[in-house]
Amino acid sequence: MADMQELIARLEAAEVGSRELDAVVWAATNGYELVRFDGAGWLYKMHAEDIQRHERTGFIPGFSQSIDAALALADRIIPGWWIELRRYSDGWYVKVAPHSSKEADALQGFQKPAAIALCIAILKAKAQGDER
């Protein structure tokens, strides 16, 4: 999924994490293009002219299903940023921002699963960084 805003919208619409969402986040944060699922894993391309490569499903971290995997993604994509997670009765609220920024500059995610809320905030930060 080339458009980061489409991916963010897809995560915001998700009720639960899934291996497919994990693969889409993995591809988007590594600059890959997913081609299709073959039953054992994902075929992907590193760039348009590239041959198709294969990554087994079990080797793609569960970003949308595990807070640990989502935090590891944050360490890679937004190293040194502060992360705040709050649980409310209707879901998780996440804020991320560089240490030197004001609270008003924080990027936010809200979702029932905490891992998805964190992925949303991370991808918003990545999209903002890619625009610069």
> What is the C-alpha to C-alpha distance for residues 69 and 29, in angstroms, rounded to an integer?
13
| pLDDT tens-digit profile, the chain (132 residues) | 458 999 999 999 999 999 999 999 999 999 888 888 888 888 888 877 777 888 887 889 999 999 999 999 999 999 999 999 999 998 899 999 888 776 667 888 888 899 999 999 999 999 987 665
> What is the C-alpha to C-alpha distance for residues 83 and 66, in angstroms, rounded to an integer?
16
> What is the C-alpha to C-alpha distance for residues 127 and 13, in angstroms, rounded to an integer?
18
pLDDT of residue 34: 87
Kindly list the structural domains of the chain, giving each domain's residue range(s) and its CATH number in brackets, ordered by start: 4-131 (3.30.2120.10)
Q: What are 40-50's pLDDT values in tens digits?
A: 888 888 877 77
pTM over 0.95: no
